[in-house]
Structure 1
Amino acid sequence: MTNDDTPESPTTNTSESGDSASGIPHAGTAGTDEAVAAVKAVSSQIYDFLGVPGTASQAGPGVKACSGKDPDTYFQVYHPWNFTPESGADNDVAVENLKEKLGTGDWVIKSSYRDNSANKNLNIVADNDAKKMSVWIVGYSKRDTPSIGIEVTSGCYRVPEGQTIQHS
Structure 2
Amino acid sequence: MPFALATITGCSMTDKRSDEISSAGTSTSSDASDVMEKLSSGIYDLIGVKGKASDSHPGVMDCPGKDAKTYFRIFHPWSFYPASAGDLDLAMKRLKVELPRHGWKIVEYGPDTSKNKNINLTADNSGKKAGVSIVQMSKNDPPKLSLTVVSGCYKVPDGEKVERF
- Report the TM-score, using the length of structure 1 for normalisation: 0.90
Matched with 2:8 is: 12
Shift of 1:103: 1.8
Out of 112, 115, 131, the residue aligned to residue 115 of structure 1 is: 112
Structure with more helix by fraction: 2
Shift of 1:23: 3.2
| Residues paired across the two proteins, number | 162
Does residue 145 of the first structure (1) align with residue 108 of the second (2)?
Answer: no
- Report the TM-score, using the length of structure 2 for normalisation: 0.92
Deviation string for 1:63-103 (max 9, x for gaps)?
A: 01111100001000000011111100011110011101112
Give 5+ residue unaligned stretches, structure 1.
Answer: 1-5
Does residue 80 of the first structure (1) align with residue 77 of the second (2)?
Answer: yes
Matches for 1:27-42 after TM superposition, within 5 Å:
27-42=24-39
Identity of aligned residues (%): 42
Does residue 47 of the first structure (1) align with residue 8 of the second (2)?
Answer: no
Shift of 1:7: 8.6
Does residue 156 of the first structure (1) align with residue 165 of the second (2)?
Answer: no
Out of 89, 94, 98, the residue aligned to residue 92 of structure 1 is: 89
Q: Secondary structure at the match of 2:159?
A: coil
Deviation string for 1:23-74 (max 9, x for gaps)?
A: 3111001111110011001100110011111111111000011111000010
- Over the residues paired in the alignment, what is the CA RMSD in angstroms? 1.7
Question: Displaced runs of 4+ in structure 1, greater than 3 A?
Answer: none
Give 5+ residue unaligned stretches, structure 2.
Answer: none
TM-aligned CA distance change 1:59 to 1:12, over 3 Å: same
